[in-house]
Amino acid sequence: MRKSLAIVLAMLVVLVNIGFANVQPVLGVEIVTEATSAILMDAASGQILYEKESHKELPPASVTKLMTLLVAADAVASGKVKLTDKVTASENASKLGGSQIYLEPGETFTLEQMLIAIAVGSANDGCVAVAEHIDGTHEAFVEEMNRKAQALGLKNTHFANAYGLPAEGHYTSAYDLAVISREALNYPLIRKLTSIKEYDLRDGKFKLWNTNKLLWWYPGADGFKTGWTNEAKYCLASTVERNGLRLICVVMGVPQVRGHFAESMKIYNYGFAKYEFKQFAPVTQKQGVVKVRKGIEDEVTAVTEKPLGTTVEKGKDKNFWVETKLNPEISAPIQKGQKLGEILLYRNDQLQANVNLIADHSIARAGLAGQMTRTLKGVFGY
């Protein structure tokens, strides 16, 4: 009896051990990338969705030009320069090697054409010509780039030139480039320039092809910049938008030819598979009315300035609630698009996003006679 019981117990131990041996541990999804450094960021919130050594200081090669374009776009937005300005190439600009449009000293293009040459053709000589046009010297423009980096709070970035050729003290990080990319999205000009696939320069005698192949290969890709040097290897800062979800991806130090495209697509695939943009109010949706004093109309409708929503992990979109804050009344005149309040999105007690509520149309101030008529109507009801 004891012997039989011992045999049964031994068999049970064997079966249990076999069962445990066949159980595989549940592991979280992990991206394996050949990039030395990489990051995936939600453009709307700045939330990091994936990263690998994202703060490591590395040479960015021509991805440097994203900051060059940002400083130039800021100069255009402020009125310091115009896209129609004539930019004349100096001898200094014409001496640059690497990727270029072979500027001749004295050759002239509009600022817009020069920026296209930088964004599409990665023109080193164009960077110097633009820098000199905006700030007088290339060195002064680079100082402006570094001031912009400081203003954005970048802790692992310093620029030594505007074009990205190897230089002492010229470095950045994947995280810092993602922050620069996020800031660049505030300037529609940058995405317009960097999404151009091809461009004819010099009356069609010089063809530019965009070096960012994601524009052809990956649906939703619409911007930013590639880079390569022997030192930096292959680098790419890019952005993709699908179904309201806009992501930013940066990869640096990828060893394989075209590997920066493959690694970026791999990381984007992960992002779009795992996350979605949850919309709670579309753009221009009515959110209430505000009383108008001294206007030719009694009230104005408040609508959302932009879509209200947030990026969430798929299947985890619970515990959200919305709060609307509106001014009870406002005095005319009112301009279309004037801020009347805001709508806030919370998850539990944490603020996730907020959008301005704006006037859906303009309302002029009423004349004295009109104001008196409205006052009498309010008092006597006629």
Which residues are part of the catalytic machinery?
A: 62, 65, 122
* Residues 89-102: b if buried by 16+ CB within 10 A, e if exposed: bbeebbebebbbbe
Strand-strand pairing, 329-331 and 286-293 = parallel
Q: Percent helix, strand and coil across the chain, each rounded to 5? A: 35, 30, 35
For 177, residues 6+ apart whose C-beta sits below 8 A from its C-beta are 39, 60, 63, 66, 237, 250, 252
How far, rounded to the nearest angstrom, does the alpha carbon of residue 168 sit from its chain's CA centroid? 28
Burial of 255 (0-12, 13-18, 19+ CB in 10 A): exposed
Distance between CA atoms of residues 38 and 40, nearest Å: 7
Q: 83: which 2 tokens?
A: 């896209």
Do residues 181 and 224 lie in contact, with contact meaning Cβ atoms separated by under 8 Å?
yes
Residue in this structure with the two tokens 């990263």, named with its chain if needed: 51
